[in-house]
A = this chain, B = another copy of it.
Amino acid sequence: MTTAASPTPQRQVPCEKCPLRAETALRDFSPEELEFVGSFKSGELTAEAGTTLLMEGTTSAHLYTVLSGWAMRYKTLADGRRQILNFVLPADFIGLQGTVLGEMQHSVEALSDMLLCVFPRERLWELYRNHPSLAFDLTWIASREEQMLDEQLVSVGRRGALERVAFVLLQLFVRAEQVNLTVDNKVQFPFTQQHLADALGMSLVHTNKTLRRLTASKAVRWKSRTFEILDREALTTLAGYQINDRQPRPFI
Protein backbone atom coordinates (compact mmCIF):
# COMPACT_ATOMS: atom_id res chain seq x y z
CA MET A 1 0.00 0.00 0.00
CA THR A 2 1.30 3.41 -0.92
CA THR A 3 0.76 5.85 1.89
CA ALA A 4 2.06 9.11 0.53
CA ALA A 5 1.15 10.86 -2.69
CA SER A 6 3.16 13.61 -4.24
CA PRO A 7 1.84 17.03 -5.21
CA THR A 8 2.37 17.92 -8.84
CA PRO A 9 3.72 21.42 -9.30
CA GLN A 10 3.13 21.23 -13.02
CA ARG A 11 0.46 22.79 -15.19
CA GLN A 12 -2.92 22.84 -13.49
CA VAL A 13 -6.49 22.98 -14.56
CA PRO A 14 -7.76 26.56 -14.10
CA CYS A 15 -11.08 26.63 -12.32
CA GLU A 16 -12.90 28.45 -15.07
CA LYS A 17 -12.00 25.57 -17.34
CA CYS A 18 -12.83 22.92 -14.78
CA PRO A 19 -13.89 19.82 -16.68
CA LEU A 20 -16.55 19.15 -14.07
CA ARG A 21 -18.00 22.53 -14.78
CA ALA A 22 -18.13 21.82 -18.49
CA GLU A 23 -20.05 18.65 -17.75
CA THR A 24 -22.68 20.51 -15.73
CA ALA A 25 -21.82 18.38 -12.76
CA LEU A 26 -21.68 21.62 -10.80
CA ARG A 27 -23.96 24.57 -10.42
CA ASP A 28 -23.06 27.83 -12.12
CA PHE A 29 -20.78 30.12 -10.22
CA SER A 30 -20.70 33.88 -10.21
CA PRO A 31 -17.44 35.44 -11.38
CA GLU A 32 -16.64 36.34 -7.77
CA GLU A 33 -17.20 32.80 -6.60
CA LEU A 34 -15.13 31.44 -9.42
CA GLU A 35 -12.32 33.78 -8.61
CA PHE A 36 -12.31 32.86 -4.95
CA VAL A 37 -12.38 29.16 -5.64
CA GLY A 38 -9.50 29.67 -8.03
CA SER A 39 -7.49 31.31 -5.29
CA PHE A 40 -8.65 28.79 -2.72
CA LYS A 41 -7.28 25.95 -4.76
CA SER A 42 -3.73 25.40 -3.65
CA GLY A 43 -2.71 22.68 -6.05
CA GLU A 44 -3.45 19.38 -7.64
CA LEU A 45 -2.70 15.87 -6.59
CA THR A 46 -2.25 12.83 -8.73
CA ALA A 47 -2.62 9.53 -6.98
CA GLU A 48 -2.18 5.99 -8.20
CA ALA A 49 -4.73 3.29 -7.59
CA GLY A 50 -4.18 1.93 -4.11
CA THR A 51 -2.94 5.18 -2.63
CA THR A 52 -4.30 6.02 0.78
CA LEU A 53 -5.46 9.62 0.54
CA LEU A 54 -6.69 9.97 4.08
CA MET A 55 -6.10 7.69 7.02
CA GLU A 56 -8.29 7.03 10.01
CA GLY A 57 -6.77 8.56 13.12
CA THR A 58 -4.63 11.10 11.32
CA THR A 59 -5.28 14.74 10.53
CA SER A 60 -5.08 16.24 7.10
CA ALA A 61 -4.35 19.85 6.30
CA HIS A 62 -6.18 19.50 3.02
CA LEU A 63 -9.56 19.16 1.49
CA TYR A 64 -10.02 17.59 -1.90
CA THR A 65 -12.34 17.63 -4.84
CA VAL A 66 -12.09 14.69 -7.17
CA LEU A 67 -11.47 15.71 -10.76
CA SER A 68 -11.16 12.19 -12.10
CA GLY A 69 -10.96 8.66 -10.83
CA TRP A 70 -12.69 6.64 -8.13
CA ALA A 71 -12.00 6.15 -4.44
CA MET A 72 -13.63 4.54 -1.44
CA ARG A 73 -14.31 5.80 2.03
CA TYR A 74 -14.08 3.04 4.64
CA LYS A 75 -13.50 2.07 8.25
CA THR A 76 -11.80 -0.99 9.64
CA LEU A 77 -12.28 -2.75 12.97
CA ALA A 78 -9.42 -3.89 15.15
CA ASP A 79 -9.53 -7.43 13.77
CA GLY A 80 -9.45 -6.28 10.16
CA ARG A 81 -13.10 -6.41 9.20
CA ARG A 82 -13.73 -3.62 6.75
CA GLN A 83 -16.85 -1.64 5.94
CA ILE A 84 -16.87 0.55 2.88
CA LEU A 85 -19.02 3.53 3.73
CA ASN A 86 -19.29 5.06 0.31
CA PHE A 87 -17.69 5.28 -3.07
CA VAL A 88 -16.17 8.56 -4.17
CA LEU A 89 -16.62 9.76 -7.73
CA PRO A 90 -15.55 12.80 -9.72
CA ALA A 91 -17.05 16.04 -8.38
CA ASP A 92 -17.21 14.56 -4.89
CA PHE A 93 -15.60 16.32 -1.99
CA ILE A 94 -13.46 14.61 0.65
CA GLY A 95 -11.95 15.60 3.93
CA LEU A 96 -14.73 17.80 5.24
CA GLN A 97 -15.42 15.49 8.18
CA GLY A 98 -11.95 16.10 9.53
CA THR A 99 -13.13 19.62 10.27
CA VAL A 100 -15.28 18.32 13.06
CA LEU A 101 -13.05 16.26 15.20
CA GLY A 102 -9.63 17.11 13.86
CA GLU A 103 -8.80 13.48 13.41
CA MET A 104 -10.28 11.64 10.49
CA GLN A 105 -12.66 8.92 11.56
CA HIS A 106 -12.34 7.01 8.34
CA SER A 107 -9.85 6.29 5.59
CA VAL A 108 -10.03 7.08 1.91
CA GLU A 109 -8.21 5.02 -0.70
CA ALA A 110 -7.94 5.50 -4.44
CA LEU A 111 -9.52 2.69 -6.44
CA SER A 112 -8.13 3.96 -9.71
CA ASP A 113 -5.55 6.53 -10.68
CA MET A 114 -6.94 9.88 -9.67
CA LEU A 115 -6.56 13.58 -10.14
CA LEU A 116 -7.66 15.79 -7.26
CA CYS A 117 -7.96 19.48 -6.53
CA VAL A 118 -6.35 20.46 -3.25
CA PHE A 119 -7.62 23.13 -0.88
CA PRO A 120 -6.01 24.23 2.38
CA ARG A 121 -8.31 23.51 5.28
CA GLU A 122 -7.03 26.57 7.15
CA ARG A 123 -8.67 28.86 4.63
CA LEU A 124 -12.06 27.23 5.04
CA TRP A 125 -13.00 29.84 7.57
CA GLU A 126 -12.34 32.56 5.03
CA LEU A 127 -14.77 30.84 2.72
CA TYR A 128 -17.45 30.89 5.37
CA ARG A 129 -16.83 34.52 6.18
CA ASN A 130 -16.70 35.92 2.67
CA HIS A 131 -18.65 33.53 0.51
CA PRO A 132 -21.84 32.42 2.20
CA SER A 133 -23.13 30.93 -1.02
CA LEU A 134 -20.16 28.56 -1.11
CA ALA A 135 -20.55 27.83 2.57
CA PHE A 136 -24.12 26.90 1.85
CA ASP A 137 -22.94 24.57 -0.88
CA LEU A 138 -20.71 22.82 1.62
CA THR A 139 -23.64 22.19 3.90
CA TRP A 140 -25.55 20.99 0.87
CA ILE A 141 -22.78 18.54 0.11
CA ALA A 142 -22.60 17.24 3.66
CA SER A 143 -26.33 16.81 3.68
CA ARG A 144 -26.36 14.95 0.40
CA GLU A 145 -23.69 12.60 1.67
CA GLU A 146 -25.82 11.94 4.68
CA GLN A 147 -28.69 10.96 2.43
CA MET A 148 -26.52 8.48 0.60
CA LEU A 149 -25.48 6.99 3.91
CA ASP A 150 -29.12 6.73 4.93
CA GLU A 151 -29.87 4.71 1.83
CA GLN A 152 -26.86 2.53 2.39
CA LEU A 153 -27.90 1.88 5.96
CA VAL A 154 -31.37 0.84 4.84
CA SER A 155 -29.80 -1.52 2.33
CA VAL A 156 -27.47 -3.20 4.76
CA GLY A 157 -30.00 -3.27 7.57
CA ARG A 158 -33.17 -4.23 5.81
CA ARG A 159 -32.69 -5.43 2.23
CA GLY A 160 -31.93 -8.97 1.15
CA ALA A 161 -28.76 -9.84 -0.74
CA LEU A 162 -30.17 -9.61 -4.25
CA GLU A 163 -31.99 -6.38 -3.54
CA ARG A 164 -28.85 -4.99 -1.98
CA VAL A 165 -26.58 -5.83 -4.86
CA ALA A 166 -29.06 -4.55 -7.43
CA PHE A 167 -29.52 -1.36 -5.50
CA VAL A 168 -25.89 -0.48 -5.07
CA LEU A 169 -25.06 -1.24 -8.68
CA LEU A 170 -27.93 0.85 -9.92
CA GLN A 171 -26.98 3.68 -7.62
CA LEU A 172 -23.37 3.62 -8.69
CA PHE A 173 -24.43 3.60 -12.30
CA VAL A 174 -26.66 6.62 -11.80
CA ARG A 175 -23.91 8.49 -10.02
CA ALA A 176 -21.50 7.62 -12.81
CA GLU A 177 -24.02 8.87 -15.36
CA GLN A 178 -24.24 12.20 -13.58
CA VAL A 179 -20.57 12.81 -14.22
CA ASN A 180 -20.60 11.45 -17.74
CA LEU A 181 -18.71 8.29 -17.01
CA THR A 182 -21.15 6.10 -18.90
CA VAL A 183 -21.28 5.25 -22.58
CA ASP A 184 -24.42 3.59 -23.79
CA ASN A 185 -25.30 1.90 -20.55
CA LYS A 186 -21.75 0.87 -19.79
CA VAL A 187 -19.29 2.01 -17.13
CA GLN A 188 -15.79 1.00 -16.16
CA PHE A 189 -15.89 -0.06 -12.54
CA PRO A 190 -12.44 0.10 -10.98
CA PHE A 191 -13.25 -2.22 -8.09
CA THR A 192 -13.56 -5.93 -7.42
CA GLN A 193 -16.29 -8.11 -5.98
CA GLN A 194 -14.45 -7.94 -2.68
CA HIS A 195 -15.06 -4.21 -2.58
CA LEU A 196 -18.69 -4.69 -3.31
CA ALA A 197 -18.91 -7.27 -0.55
CA ASP A 198 -17.30 -4.91 1.93
CA ALA A 199 -19.69 -2.14 0.95
CA LEU A 200 -22.72 -4.38 1.34
CA GLY A 201 -21.75 -6.05 4.56
CA MET A 202 -21.64 -9.48 2.91
CA SER A 203 -18.98 -12.14 2.38
CA LEU A 204 -17.11 -12.28 -0.89
CA VAL A 205 -18.50 -15.67 -1.76
CA HIS A 206 -22.07 -14.75 -1.12
CA THR A 207 -21.64 -11.56 -3.09
CA ASN A 208 -20.34 -13.58 -5.98
CA LYS A 209 -23.26 -15.97 -5.91
CA THR A 210 -25.74 -13.15 -5.67
CA LEU A 211 -24.03 -11.42 -8.54
CA ARG A 212 -24.40 -14.55 -10.63
CA ARG A 213 -28.08 -14.69 -9.80
CA LEU A 214 -28.33 -11.09 -10.88
CA THR A 215 -26.57 -11.57 -14.18
CA ALA A 216 -28.63 -14.71 -14.75
CA SER A 217 -31.67 -12.44 -14.73
CA LYS A 218 -30.24 -10.68 -17.79
CA ALA A 219 -30.65 -7.30 -16.18
CA VAL A 220 -26.95 -6.54 -16.10
CA ARG A 221 -23.58 -7.78 -17.27
CA TRP A 222 -20.29 -7.31 -15.47
CA LYS A 223 -17.16 -8.74 -16.94
CA SER A 224 -13.56 -7.70 -16.45
CA ARG A 225 -14.24 -4.24 -15.11
CA THR A 226 -16.99 -3.35 -17.55
CA PHE A 227 -20.44 -3.07 -16.09
CA GLU A 228 -23.44 -2.85 -18.38
CA ILE A 229 -27.12 -2.39 -17.70
CA LEU A 230 -29.17 -4.48 -20.10
CA ASP A 231 -32.61 -3.94 -18.63
CA ARG A 232 -32.81 -0.90 -16.46
CA GLU A 233 -36.40 -1.38 -15.47
CA ALA A 234 -35.78 -4.94 -14.38
CA LEU A 235 -32.81 -3.80 -12.34
CA THR A 236 -34.84 -1.05 -10.74
CA THR A 237 -37.50 -3.55 -9.79
CA LEU A 238 -34.97 -5.94 -8.33
CA ALA A 239 -33.53 -3.08 -6.35
CA GLY A 240 -37.02 -2.53 -5.00
CA TYR A 241 -36.77 1.19 -5.34
CA GLN A 242 -36.67 3.99 -7.83
CA ILE A 243 -33.62 6.09 -7.30
CA ASN A 244 -34.37 9.75 -7.53
CA ASP A 245 -32.19 11.58 -9.99
CA ARG A 246 -30.71 14.37 -8.00
CA GLN A 247 -30.12 17.93 -9.05
CA PRO A 248 -26.73 19.01 -10.37
CA ARG A 249 -24.29 19.36 -7.55
CA PRO A 250 -22.94 22.74 -6.46
CA PHE A 251 -19.46 23.92 -5.57
CA ILE A 252 -16.21 23.01 -7.17
Q: Is A216 an interface residue (CB 8 A)?
A: no
- List, in ascending order, chain B residues with CB within 8 A of A101's CB: 147, 244, 246-247
Which A residues between 97 and 129 are near B, CB-CB below 8 angstroms?
97, 99-101, 105-106, 125, 128-129
Q: Which of B139, B147, B152, B158 contacts A135 (CB 8 A)?
A: B139
Among A85, A99, A128, A157: residue with most chain B CB under 10 A: A157
Q: Is A191 an interface residue (CB 8 A)?
A: no
Instruction: Establish whether residues B146 and A142, one from each chain, have CB atoms under 8 Å apart when the complex forms.
Output: yes
Among A83, A128, A146, A201: residue with most chain B CB under 10 A: A146
Q: Which of B77, B145, B246, B247 contacts A154 (CB 8 A)?
A: B77
Once the chains are docked, how many angstroms separate the CA of A158 from the CA of B201?
6
Q: Is A138 an interface residue (CB 8 A)?
A: yes
| Chain A 149-183: CB-based contact to B (< 8 A → 1; otherwise 0) | 11011101111000000000000000000000000
- List, in ascending order, chain B residues with CB within 8 A of A129's CB: 132
Copies of the protein in its oligomer: 2
Q: How large is the interface on A (under 10, 10 to 19, 20 to 34, 35 or more residues)?
A: 35 or more
Which A residues between 198 and 243 are near B, CB-CB below 8 angstroms?
200-201, 240-241
Instruction: Establish whether residues B154 and A157, one from each chain, have CB atoms under 8 Å apart when the complex forms.
Output: no
Q: Is A49 an interface residue (CB 8 A)?
A: no
- A100/B147 contact (C-beta < 8 A), A81-B158, A200-B157, A240-B78 known: yes
Q: How far is the CB of A155 from chain B (nearest CB, A)?
A: 9
Once the chains are docked, how many angstroms separate the CA of A136 from the CA of B75?
26
- List, in ascending order, chain B residues with CB within 8 A of A149's CB: 146, 149-150, 153
Q: How far is the CB of A203 from chain B (nearest CB, A)?
A: 11
- A136/B136 contact (C-beta < 8 A), A150-B85, A201-B158 known: no
Instruction: Establish whether residues A143 and B96, one from each chain, have CB atoms under 8 Å apart when the complex forms.
Output: yes
- A82/B158 contact (C-beta < 8 A), A146-B149, A152-B153 known: yes
Q: Is A144 an interface residue (CB 8 A)?
A: yes
Among A78, A128, A139: residue with most chain B CB under 10 A: A139
Once the chains are docked, how many angstroms separate the CA of A85 from the CA of B148?
12
Question: Closest 10 A-B residue pairs measured CB to CB?
Answer: A157-B201, A142-B142, A128-B132, A149-B149, A100-B143, A83-B154, A81-B158, A83-B157, A129-B132, A83-B158
